[in-house]
Structure 1
Amino acid sequence: MTTFLKRLGMRCPVIQAPMAGTSTPALALEVMKAGGLGSIALGAVNAEAGRKLIREMKSGTDKPFNVNLFCHAPAERDAAREARWLEALAPRFQVFGAEPPVELNEIYRSFVEDDAMADMLEEERPAIVSFHFGLPKAEQIARFKAAGTFLIASATCVEEAHAAVAAGMDAVVAQGYEAGGHRGIFDPATGDEKLPTFTLVQLLVRALNVPVIAAGGIMTGRGIAACLDLGAAAVQMGTAFIACPESAADPAHRSAVLGARAGHTLVTDTISGRPARCIVNEFTALGQDLAGQGQCPASYPVAYDAGKALNMAAKAAGNTGYGAQWAGQGAPLARALPALELVELLMREYEAARGG
């Protein structure tokens, strides 16, 4: 076992990705029973809800677990742009006998401006904290460092990874373009290099002096072995756990991951206002149509308010094709197993791949 794994309390190199809307304390705890690192997502909740999740984890384990936060730039509100987006979506709402919201809200607060979340975390003192979409403010990082917290940030390119290490991160997640869910790009306006996992891992291992965690398209023990052979210290897996009974994925999301559409994903900003990889469905098709008409979604996470409302209207009418069915390109390899059994299977596959 490497020093990195020991420090994080892991017996095997599997980190369960903290996918908002999918990860749960129950899922994280089962992964930890198998020797991996469990994670919970706080990016979509407020401080008190986050405290409840952390305490649920503490009641189930005395081992370190990961708490994930969103560090996106706060939304740039543009009333005209938001009105145009609602107008563009209105005909689809009407198909389901509903009206779009009168106005949109910024439904997720970025950690960079959430003092209540920072205070709560200082009180609860989670051992590991990870960041997506960017980095916290220097003073927030200093508070974590003073508490001895192990810090991790996701990066989609070498420049972001260097910024993460310079800011004080103890490890970096190399998020390949194959990954499901939201791209961790610090600033979507600068574009996406779309680096695949294997390429990005090798670049970061060469460029950084901290552990690199591979993420994106990893679904089997053979994939884990390949990433570690390239120099990764561990792997982070999200899509692999969506079909586990402990996940919070709804039936439509599970069905999509395990069904014929699983092999067809694309990166879209239609659902949330920020690029994210999703299984193709009626919402992604609508997004392509609207993009062809020159329509631009509201900024993240304001557009997500509209996306969630449209999904609710569709589901009320019996249509499940408008959900955020986030999944990576490896989705066809998903197994519907309890999380503990899945990690144990992954480790058997890993040992077999290593010739053990």
Structure 2
Amino acid sequence: MAMKSWPDNRIQTLFGIELPIILAPMAGPVLSDMVIAVSEAGGLGSLPCALLTADQIRNELTTIRQRTARPINLNFFCHRPPAPNKTREEQWRKRLETYYVEFGIDPLAPVPTSNRTPFDESMCDLVAEWKPEVVSFHFGLPTRELIDRVKATGTKIMSSATTVDEARWLEDEGCDVIIAQGAEAGGHRGMFLSDSVATQVGTIALVPQVVDAVKVPVIAAGGIGDARGIVAAFVLGASAVQLGTIYMFSPEAKLSVPHREALKKAKDNSTAITNVFTGRPARSIVNRLVQEVGPMSDSAPAFPLAGGALTPLRAKTEPQGSGDFMSLWSGQAARFGRELPAGELTRILAQETLARLSAL
């Protein structure tokens, strides 16, 4: 599977990888074992850092570097922590009160904190210490000072764009690569110049427009689940693909039983973009909470605060095998999922794609 077999090898050259397949950095499901598997198979393993402390990231990186010397990506959120809004938080508690009563939870009990750590000086110190080959961001970029520090380590930088305007902004701010995230993608939308879910663009329309608008290489993401989708991404002008949902079927994925079962049953129209789990638009399999409270609720506190009030409900229902109150992140192509180890899946996807490309 030599580089020259691929229509565009800019990403392989830039990142030092063999295959133009990037593991989506899915916070929660992905830890060191999946990162290692994908990188060892020739793709780019991505470690999501948003839910981890600096010490936890160091532990994961220690494990990774003990088992592979291949390139990896560290992914960070770069949102601005929200200002407390007591009125909205009380509205949210009121909206969820009937569920608290149903499951015997005190509606007046303190709400656990729901935290997502944005990229800051301490995380930048960590990047400088470990010097990963790639650092990716979600929700725009951190400050110019932090970006300059990351670049000084020799690390390549990429971030997600959900519109052409966002792609141009990211390129102007110094991104080496743009991830064009179509509306089909699972998990959080990378949107940062707009908060309009209604105008989100699909992958097949977004990718070629972003390719035309920027000079840097573009990675296609969203709704790509097999070799046909990867071939299509290259035809549209992408230099690589980022895949998430199909990796959640692998044994390395850290998933709850309800989430794994929901993925197995998911159809093309089983998901919706919703803000009820974190306060920020994200694509999830539709469950009871999304049906009854969402998909988009004006009562949900700003990201990431909405999740705190759901914690007691999840704690009551998940042990019973219920996914009614938990985020069930998934893209629209879950039907393509195959229960294969992440490394094997990476290699098979590459082989199947090259076979299709050679037949064109």
Q: How would you bin the TM-score normalised by the shorter chain?
A: over 0.9
Q: Distance in 1 between matches of 2:112 and 2:286?
A: 25
Gaps of 5+ in 2: 4-8
**Match of 2:278, SS?**
coil
Equivalent residue number for residue 323 of structure 1: 326
Equivalent residue number for residue 16 of structure 1: 23
Q: Residue 279 of structure 2 contacts residue 305 of structure 2 at CA under 8 Å; is this kept in 1?
A: yes
Equivalent residue number for residue 316 of structure 2: 313
Q: Residue 277 of structure 1 contacts residue 327 of structure 1 at CA under 8 Å; is this kept in 2?
A: yes
Stretch of structure 1 that moved more, 53-62 or 129-138: 53-62
Equivalent residue number for residue 29 of structure 1: 36
Please state how far the C-alpha of 1:33 moved relative to its aligned partner: 2.1
Q: Distance in 2 between matches of 1:22 and 1:88?
A: 29
**Match of 1:278, SS?**
strand
Q: Distance in 1 between matches of 2:65 and 2:79?
A: 27
Tell me whether 1:105 sits opposite 2:105 in the alignment.
Answer: no
Please state how far the C-alpha of 1:320 moved relative to its aligned partner: 2.7
Equivalent residue number for residue 171 of structure 2: 165
Write the mapping of 1:69-148 to structure 2, written as runs, cut at 5 A.
69-100=76-107, 101-103=109-111, 105-111=113-119, 114-148=120-154
**Match of 2:205, SS?**
helix
Q: TM-score, normalised by structure 2?
A: 0.92
From 232, 235, 256, the equivalent of 1:250 is 256
Cα 1:188–1:301 shift into 2, 3 Å: farther
Letter in 2 for 1:135: L
Cα 1:260–1:74 shift into 2, 3 Å: closer
Gaps of 5+ in 1: none
Q: Which of structure 1's runs of 4+ aligned residues deviate more than 4 A?
A: 260-263
From 277, 297, 314, the equivalent of 2:300 is 297
Please state how far the C-alpha of 1:106 moved relative to its aligned partner: 4.8
Q: Distance in 2 between matches of 1:43 and 1:296?
A: 24
Equivalent residue number for residue 332 of structure 1: 335
Tell me whether 1:271 sits opposite 2:271 in the alignment.
Answer: no
Please state how far the C-alpha of 1:352 moved relative to its aligned partner: 2.6
Please state how far the C-alpha of 1:251 moved relative to its aligned partner: 1.7
Aligned length: 351
Q: Residue 74 of structure 1 contacts residue 110 of structure 1 at CA under 8 Å; is this kept in 2?
A: yes
Q: Distance in 1 between matches of 2:295 and 2:241?
A: 36
Spell out, residue by residue over 1:277-317, the C-alpha distance to the aligned partner (whole angstroms, 9 max, x if none).
001111211223894xxx51011101122233321222245
Letter in 1 for 2:36: L
Q: Residue 273 of structure 2 contacts residue 282 of structure 2 at CA under 8 Å; is this kept in 1?
A: yes
Please state how far the C-alpha of 1:164 moved relative to its aligned partner: 0.7
Letter in 1 for 2:308: D
Please state how far the C-alpha of 1:273 moved relative to its aligned partner: 0.4
From 46, 59, 71, the equivalent of 2:53 is 46
Q: Distance in 1 between matches of 2:331 and 2:106?
A: 32
Cα 1:316–1:50 shift into 2, 3 Å: same
Cα 1:231–1:307 shift into 2, 3 Å: same
Please state how far the C-alpha of 1:262 moved relative to its aligned partner: 6.4
Q: TM-score, normalised by structure 1?
A: 0.93
**Match of 1:173, SS?**
strand
Please state how far the C-alpha of 1:254 moved relative to its aligned partner: 1.2
Q: Residue 29 of structure 1 contacts residue 61 of structure 1 at CA under 8 Å; is this kept in 2?
A: yes
Cα 1:188–1:306 shift into 2, 3 Å: farther
Stretch of structure 1 that moved more, 45-54 or 124-133: 45-54
RMSD: 1.8
Cα 1:164–1:260 shift into 2, 3 Å: closer
Equivalent residue number for residue 67 of structure 1: 74
Q: Residue 166 of structure 2 contacts residue 193 of structure 2 at CA under 8 Å; is this kept in 1?
A: no
Q: Distance in 2 between matches of 1:324 and 1:289?
A: 12
Spell out, residue by residue over 1:112-159, the C-alpha distance to the aligned partner (whole angstroms, 9 max, x if none).
xx3222222222221210000111100000101111110000000011
* Overall identity of the aligned pairs, in %: 38
Tell me whether 1:202 sits opposite 2:223 in the alignment.
Answer: no
Q: Residue 267 of structure 2 contacts residue 334 of structure 2 at CA under 8 Å; is this kept in 1?
A: no
**Match of 1:168, SS?**
coil
Q: Residue 82 of structure 1 contacts residue 104 of structure 1 at CA under 8 Å; is this kept in 2?
A: no
Q: Distance in 2 between matches of 1:286 and 1:48?
A: 39
